[in-house]
Structure formats: structure tokens, C-alpha cells
Structure 1
Amino acid sequence: MTVNEDLFTDWKNREEIAESMIPIIGRLQRERDVTVLLHSRSLVNRSVVSILKTHRFARQIAGEELSVTETFPFLQALTTLDLGPSQIDIGMLAATYKADDHGLSVEEFTAQAVAGAVGAEKRERRDSRDVVLYGFGRIGRLLARLLIEKAGSGNGLRLRAIVVRRSAGEDLVKRASLLRRDSIHGQFHGTITVDEATSTIIANGNAIKVIYSDDPTTVDYTEYGINDAILVDNTGKWRDREGLSKHLRPGIAKVVLTAPGKGDVPNIVHGVNHDTIKPDEQIISCASCTTNAIVPPLKAMEDEFGVLRGHVETVHSFTNDQNLLDNYHGADRRGRSAPLNMVITETGAASAVSKALPDLKAKITGSSIRVPVPDVSIAILNLQLARETTREEVLEHLREVSLTSPLKRQIDFTTAPDAVSSDFIGSRHASIVDAGATKVEGDNAILYLWYDNEFGYSCQVVRVVQHVSGVEYPTFPAPAV
């Protein structure tokens, strides 16, 4: 047999194993509310090729490709356990097993590594928590996709309603169509139908009531069978406690804002300060996409090297608050055509750092340039560190953080030599460290951080909603602290 035949036979074998993984992953999700991950990437509803590509991606962060032949035995071992709701990373199971020297079998090691998800330690499955989206723009529709995706087990979060202003024409049909098709993020994964008689969008079996209102104080959500819900305001119209409190109507227990909060509204970056949310806090902000992109790597650098001062320059995709063609705009420069110009503007991300990282004493400044791409931005983080280091040490630290730390869902890492912005459309991380662009000299480090300012940010918002709803299930093996 030739080398080429050997390679093709190996590929077919791995395809067969990946095919056999799909029904196991699906059953664990539906029947036990267990999400199977591979180095923080969900394998739920993935295709054969997608599973194989995710395994191959492990070489970017672990240094070598991970094979399904290594992870499949751990997946099989999980089926023998009485698991409770959890997230289980079979990539981390395989990696830690390889480094373990206790001579345990795969079954014994797996049972030990996920002990907190079985027996007396396991969480009980709970009823789903209602979620309402107030607004249905770019972020609102991506949140809807994510919430529908995560409703597969019937537990956790359940999108019950969308609140919008009524528009002329076939309002419901057009809104459903925008959910079904997206020029950047592609087709919705599943089926969508519309019941105009009841003003309902049915997406993958989820009945989502469309409520028409111009004023949040006029809505009684209990009339629609919605109770104790979390409302996500993605309009940005109200950003202080007084304005957001208008949403605290019958049926609504908490309000989450998808923009930087003002005044005493807590600004939360999941993975960094989400554990500071008080149980009785009714109003919180998820800060901005750029704040979510820079705060996790900033914390990672502060923890290891110390940060004395820094500046962030964001090269940001254009957004809907700019004009397609030159026209009046209340803000400087934003009236000029977004798809034809680079536009200097301001960013509040640097000043928001202090809310998410109050212990960071370093002064962080920031500025921004909007550029003619529709999605994915890059933050250039220029830091003066508290000690001298090397490029190799910084990259090794950030690689390890992306792989094993509590920030592994927020920070990704790429060594791809030809990476460009469109490669990161659909990334579920808050930011991706570009290893090839990183510069370090003495006590100065410059990090280039890609981020999908739409989808990656939406994933961070959903994580916050999961946390405040009580359905943020533990991950095993537990990340290193």
C-alpha cells in the first residue's frame, strides 16, 4: 500500500469514528443536558468534517493534532456514567490522561475527572428559564440563534418572546426572514415557520411570541405565560438604571443590557468578573464588544507580568449607527459613508476596563478607527509590563491560558501565518490572540487581538445570561486556576 493510500485509509477510519460520535453527543445533550466540548469548542450539532477539523485545530494551541481515536474512548466512557447537567471537555480529558502517571484505565480516569458531575455531587436538571429579547437587530438575531441552539435539551434557557416596534408591511414575515438568512453569518441551522394569526415565529420547535410595543412600561409579560424571565435589551436606548428599570414589568425578574452601562450599572465581562454579580442584582450590563475583547487578555497579562500602563487601538468594522452614504449624523465623522471610508472615532472600552478590573491600577487609554468591513475587528493592545520578558514567554503564557485556564472560553489563540479578519467570523471567543503578529521587547508587549464583534460578543452575553439564570453548568475537567 502506498503512502497516499495509507493517508486516505486513515482519513476514512477517522470519518467513521466521527460519525459514531455524533449520536452519542446528541443523546448526552438531549437526555442528560451534557454538552460535549473539545478544547472549549462545542461538538453538539456538528458535522463529521467539522468534528475532524475541530480536532485538527487543537494543534494550534496544544502543539500537535488531536485524533478522534484519542478522544472517542473518553466519549464512550461518559455514556457509562450517571451524569448530571454539565459541560465535559473530551480534549482536556485526553490531554490530562496522557500526562497522568497513575496507571488508571480510561474508564477509571474519566469517572475520577468528572466526579463532580455524578452521584451526590451532580446538579439536578431544572426547568427552563424564560428569556425575552427587547429589540431584534444584529445582536438580537444572533442571540436568538444562540438561545434556540441551546434549547436542544429542553432545559436551560428558553427564548419566549421578542419585543419590537411594528413596521409597515409584512413585519413578522420579514423579521423571520432576517433570522433565517444572514449575509455575514449564513443560514439559520434548522427550520423557521411563521404563524401570523398568533404573531409567533416557530424556530426548531421553539414558539417565540413577537410582541409589538413602543414603550416597555406598557407590556405585561404574564399575559403571554412568561414568568421570572431575563430580558435582554439589545436596543441600547436605555443605559442607566432608571431607564433600564422600565423593563421590570410583571413577568420580568432581571434585565441584561448589550451595551456599556452608565452610572452604577455593573459592567460584566464573563470569565473576568461575572462572579461579582450579586444574587439580588436586577440590572446588569455586558459592556461592549471591545471591552470583552481586551479585558480577558489584559487580565491574563496582569496576572503573569503585571501591567503599568497601556493603550488600545481598535480597528473596528462599521456598524448600523453609521451612514451608508454621506448624510447628517449627530456624531463627528460618522456621517461619512461607512463602506467607503476609514473613520476615526472614539471608544469607551479603555475607560470601561476599570469597572471590569477594579484591581488593575494601570492607566489604559484608547481610540478607534471604523473600517469598511462588515464584521470582525482587531484590538491592538500596547502594554508596558512590570517586568521584562520575551516574546516566547508571552506567547507560551497566552497559549496556556487559552487551553487550560478559567479564561479558555474567552481567549483563543492562532498561529496561522495567513490569518485575516474573515477567518474569525463566527468565533465564539471574546478575542483571539494572533501569535504571528505579537511583538515583545523588554517590558513592552504589543498584542493583536481579533474578535467577532457580533457573534463572539453575543456568546459572551449568553454566558452572562446563563450565569444569572442559574443554568451555567460546571465544566469538567475543572480548568487550572
Structure 2
Amino acid sequence: MTVNDDVFTDWKNREEIAESMIPIIGRLHREKDVTVLLHSRSLVNKSVVSILKTHRFARQIAGEELSVTETFPFLQALTALDLGPSQIDIGMLAATYRADSRGLSVEEFTAKAVIGATGENKLERRDGQDVVLYGFGRIGRLVARLLIEKASGNGLRLKAIVVRNGGGDDLVKRASLLRRDSIHGQFQGTIVVDEANNKIIANGNEITVIYSNDPSEVDYTEYGIKDAILIDNTGRWRDREGLSKHLRPGIAKVVLTAPGKGDVPNIVHGVNHDTIKPDEQIISCASCTTNAIVPPLKAMEDEYGVLRGHVETVHSFTNDQNLLDNYHKADRRGRSAPLNMVITETGAASAVAKALPDLKAKISGSSIRVPVPDVSIAILNLQLKRETNREEVLDYLRDVSLTSPLKRQIDFIDSPDAVSSDFIGSRHASIVDAGATKVDGDNAILYLWYDNEFGYSCQVVRVVRYISGVEYPTFPHPAV
């Protein structure tokens, strides 16, 4: 047998193992509300090749080998446990098992590592949480995809979408926009339009489309909706007074997918979501750029301290701009978005203070819109409180992306050919580009990619899960 034959045989063996993993992952998700992760990346509803690629990527950023042959025994061990709702990272289980010196079997180690999710310690599955989308634009449709994708596991149920009636075939057209997306591709599943009952049925989820021109016109209880979380993705109302209009019969809390004004809390999941008060009815998920810069900024502040900084965002164009030159109330945004680089303002720097009130460093910011439809990059230029070097910073940020509480927010890539389109569909708020990072003494310049549509939508759903009580703990804990 040749070397090439050996490599191909190994690939086929790993394919077979990955195929065996899929039904186990599916059963744990459906029957026990357990989400299986690999270094913070969900393996639920993933194909054989996707599972193998996720293992490959984890191996790349961890700097050491990781294969399905190593993680599969831990997945098998989970099936013998009395698990409750949780997230279990088999990549972390494999990594921590390597470093463990107790001589335990895989089964014994796994049982101890996830003991907080088993037996008397486990959480009970709770009733589903009703969710309403107010608006159905770019963010609204991506949040809808995520809610539908997770409906079988985490208890969030998209019950209704509120939009203005666009006239003939409105329901069909909105369903079509959910089904097909020029950037993010086809919807993963089936969509049926029930025009007689004004419903879109997506992967078995019945979603009522409610037509309304104003929040005060809707009584959600008429549609069987109760104690729902309403996600306003229109951006039309951004202060407490305006957003309070949504607190109608059937609606318990309101989440804004734009920076909040006044005393509306601006939340970046992973950084300050645990500051949300239980009785708070209105919160904001800040902006996509704020979500991209705040987690790495916190990471750098925690390790090195930050004296001052500047963020320059190179941002994809958005619906707020014009396709062709036309009047716009804001400076420069009236010029053609797909034909120009457009200097504009960003509120992300000033929003840092709301998400990181303990950070005393002054952060300034500016932005340039460029002719790409999705994925942006933030260049974070920091003066640190102590000197360091490039290797130390990269080792630290790589570790943050793998093992820290920010691992779902911060990703890490070290590729000589990475470009913006590579990050379409990223579920992280921010991706550190190792190859572009610059460090000179107390000055560090980080290049942070982010999918300003999908990555941000993932952050929104994480906040919704948290305030609804269905953001389950992740195992193993770092100290296992």
C-alpha cells in the first residue's frame, strides 16, 4: 500500500466515525436538550464533512492534533449519563483529558467533568419561550433562521413576525426572502406558505405573519402568544419611551438590534450580559461593530491593561445607503454605496463605555463604508499599560478563543490568504487575524474580522437565550 493509500484510508475511517457521531449528537439535542460543541462550535445538524472540517480547524488553532478518533469516545460516554439541558464541548473534554494525570478512563473522566449537568445537579427542561420578530429585514431574517434552527433544542419558539403589508403576494415574497439569500445561501430546510392562515411554516414551525403599521395596534394574546420576547430589528425606536410601545398584551420583554439611547442597557453577550437585571424589560444588543471590538478589548484590558485606543472600521455597505447617488439626510451616505468608499461616523467607540464601564481608557473611532455586501473589519490600535511582543499577544488571544469565557465571541485565524468573504457565516462576534497583528512594545494593532450580519445575529440570539433562561451552562469548566 502506498503512502497516498494510507492517507485516503485514514480519511475514509474518519468519515465513518463522523457518520456515527451524527445520530448521537441529534438524539442528545432533541431528547435531552444537550448541544454538543467542539471548541465552542456547535456540531448539531452538521454534515460529515462539516464535522471533519471543524475538527481540522480546531487542530489548526490549538496547535496540536485533534481527530474524531479522539473525540468520539467522549461522545459515546455522554450517552450513558443522565444528562440535563447543557452545552458540552467534546473538544475541551479531549484536550483536558490529555493533560489529566489521574489515570481515569474516558468514561470516568467524562462523568466527573460534566457532573454539574447530571443526576440531581441537572437542570430541568423548561417550557418553550415565545419570540416575536418586529421587522423582517436583513437581521430579522437571519435571526429567524437561527431561531428555527435551534427550535428543537433550546426552547426558543418563533411565534410571529410583525411587518407592514406590502400588498399583493406579500406573504409569498417574504417567505421567498427567507428561503433564498444572496449572501448567506439557501435556507437549511423546508418552507411552506399557508396564505389562508397568514402563516409561514419553516421546518415544522408555524410562524404567524401579523400586519401592523404601529406597535400599539397589536394584541399578541389574540394569536396565542404569551410572555414573549419581542426583537425589534427595525431600529425605528431606540429609546425607552419608543421601545415601550412594544410592551403590549403578550409581550414581556423587548430586545433592540441597534444601539440603545438614554438609559437603555447596551449588552454585548460574553462581556456584560450578566448585568441584565431580572426585571429589566427593555435592552439593546448594541451594534455589530460594538460586538466586534468590545470582547477583544476586554481581553486585552484584562491581560495587559489599556491606556487609550482608536478603532477604524472598514464596513460593508448597508441598506441605509443608496444604490445610486440620491438625497440622504446624513453626510456622504447619499453617494452610491456599491461604487464608492464612503467616510462616515460610527458610534461603536462611544458605546464601549456602556458595555465596559470599568475601562477608563479613551477609545476614539471612525468608519469607512466599502463596496462589499457583508463582512467588515475593525482595526483596533491600542496603547497598553505594559510592553509585550507579537508572539505573546497571539498566544494569549489564541488561548482566549479556545478556553476563556469569551470563546464564543472571539475566534482566531492564522492563514496567509484570509480575505473578507472567508468569514461569511461566522458565528463569532470577532475573528482575530493573526497574520495581520502588529505589536511594538506597548503598542498593539489588532485586525478583527466580523460578519456584521450573521455574527451579530448570533450575538442577539445569545442575549435572547440568556434573558429567557435557556442559555444553559457549558461543560467542562476550565478548571476540570
TM over 0.5: yes
Structure 2: distance between partners of 1:64 and 1:461: 33
After superposition, residues 20-419 of structure 1 pair within 5 angstroms as 20-153=20-153, 156-419=155-418
Structure 2 stretches of 5 or more lacking a match?
Answer: none
2:473: which partner in 1?
Answer: 474
Structure 2: distance between partners of 1:171 and 1:156: 29
What displacement does 1:119 show?
Answer: 1.2
SS at structure 1 position matched to 2:130:
strand
SS at structure 1 position matched to 2:197:
coil
Structure 2: distance between partners of 1:386 and 1:124: 46
Structure 2: distance between partners of 1:379 and 1:453: 11
What displacement does 1:278 show?
Answer: 0.2
Q: Is the 8 A contact 1:192 1:203 kept in 2?
A: yes
Structure 1 stretches of 5 or more lacking a match?
Answer: none
- Per-residue CA shift, 1:104-152, capped at 9, x if unaligned? 0000000000000001110000110000000000000000000000012
- Per-residue CA shift, 1:327-360, capped at 9, x if unaligned? 1111000000000000000000000000000000
Structure 1: distance between partners of 2:299 and 2:353: 15
- Per-residue CA shift, 1:20-70, capped at 9, x if unaligned? 000000000000000000000000000000000000001232002310000
1:353 partner letter: V
Q: Is the 8 A contact 1:405 1:480 kept in 2?
A: no
Q: Is the 8 A contact 1:228 1:251 kept in 2?
A: yes
SS at structure 1 position matched to 2:9:
helix
Q: Is the 8 A contact 1:404 1:480 kept in 2?
A: no
- Per-residue CA shift, 1:261-295, capped at 9, x if unaligned? 00000000000000000000000000000000000
Structure 2: distance between partners of 1:145 and 1:137: 12
Structure 1: distance between partners of 2:228 and 2:116: 29
Structure 2: distance between partners of 1:410 and 1:472: 15
Structure 1: distance between partners of 2:140 and 2:65: 36
Structure 2: distance between partners of 1:331 and 1:480: 51
Structure 2: distance between partners of 1:356 and 1:18: 40
SS at structure 2 position matched to 1:312:
strand
What displacement does 1:480 show?
Answer: 5.9
SS at structure 1 position matched to 2:196:
coil
What displacement does 1:6 show?
Answer: 0.2
Structure 2: distance between partners of 1:204 and 1:284: 29
Structure 2: distance between partners of 1:382 and 1:121: 45
1:137 partner letter: G
- Per-residue CA shift, 1:285-341, capped at 9, x if unaligned? 000000000000000000000000000000000000000001111100000000000
The runs of at least 4 aligned residues of structure 1 exceeding 2 Å deviation read none
Q: Is the 8 A contact 1:55 1:65 kept in 2?
A: no
Identity, % of aligned positions: 89
Q: Is the 8 A contact 1:85 1:123 kept in 2?
A: yes
Structure 2: distance between partners of 1:396 and 1:31: 39
2:182 partner letter: S
Structure 1: distance between partners of 2:3 and 2:289: 47
TM-score, length of structure 2 as denominator length = 0.99
Structure 2: distance between partners of 1:333 and 1:51: 45
The count of residues paired between Structure 1 and Structure 2 equals 480
Structural RMSD (CA): 0.8
What displacement does 1:479 show?
Answer: 4.0
Structure 2: distance between partners of 1:480 and 1:295: 25
